[in-house]
Amino acid sequence: MLEILQIPVLEDNYVYLLHEPGSGATAAVDPAVAGPVLEALDARGWRLGHVLNTHHHGDHVGGNLELKAATGCTIVGAAGDRHRIPGIDVALKDGEEFRLGSASARMLDVPGHTSGHVAFWFEDDAALFCGDTLFALGCGRLFEGSAEQMWRSLERLRALPAETKVFCAHEYTQANARFAVTIEPGNVALRERVERVEALRREGAATVPSILSEELATNPFLRPESPEIRARLGLPGVPEVEVFAEIRRRKDVFRG
């Protein structure tokens, strides 16, 4: 089983170190900066072999070249985004495998936030590293893709096993929760989750990772079939993607 270390960096980013103890293989997911990653590696005696990038934004790839210079690591990203991933060595296509010692990940194309966004799904560890596609109680903004693309991506992720741990790249949960309750205020599970999130943040604790089953029950972006959401948005009987698009539009202008 993978050892997963969560490293908070910048204002609200998370970098993840994945360590496969049998082989000693170690990878960093979305290193925004290099310094804290190198410190964590040194503290544990781990050697960085790979960087996994979900997309090209600077707060996900900013540490690539420094880490490569310091460790000689191999940088892995999407084939379709190879021109925007600094230092990329291995360009994977949708469905291709990445191996980290005895651990194995499937790369999934999940465009919407960016046109080349991907996720890494470690099935045996029930661990999903999804960058900015899916957040705890939210999803990423549509900077380069369409609502249709993002909804197809989210459908793909919500079909994963319910016990999947969702390792997203930002601590946005508290802000997402304030929006979510405006969309589905009658959702008891959501209101209970908001209370837990508020308590965790008061203690300075992380709300990530979340569990996919929890997202399916409370995250409005994964729930366009909800009768309450449809009624609240005035969108009965329309395709799910249209409901999703309206939720995303409302979140873009939300100032709660």
Asked if 252 is an active-site residue, the reply is no
| 170 marked as binding residue | yes
* CATH at 189: 3.60.15.10
Asked if 55 is an active-site residue, the reply is yes
Report the number of distinct structural domains present in the chain: 1
Inter-CA distances, 235 with 63, 82, 137, 228, Å: 44, 39, 21, 10
pTM of the model: 0.97
Q: Which of 50, 56, 60, 117 is catalytic?
A: 60
Contact 158, 208 (CB under 8 A): no
| 56 marked as binding residue | no
Domain residues for the domain of 131 are 3-253
Q: What is the pLDDT at residue 201?
A: 97
Q: What is the pLDDT of residues 207-230, one digit of tens each?
A: 999 999 999 999 999 999 999 999
In what helix (H) or strand (E) does residue 16 lie, and over which residues does it extend? strand 13-20
DSSP secondary structure code for residue 222 in this structure: G
Q: What is the pLDDT at residue 84?
A: 98
CB atoms within 10 A of CB 192: 12
Largest CA distance in the chain: 56
Q: Which of 30, 59, 81, 109 is catalytic?
A: 59
DSSP 85-148: STT--EEEPTT-EEEETTEEEEEEE--SSSTT-EEEEEGGGTEEEEETTEETTEE---SSS-HH
Task: Give the span between the Cα atoms of 164 and 214, in whole angstroms.
Answer: 10
Q: What is the pLDDT of residues 35-70, one digit of tens each?
A: 999 999 999 999 999 999 999 999 999 999 999 999
SS3 55: coil
Q: How many helices (H) and strands (E) does the chain have?
A: 9, 14
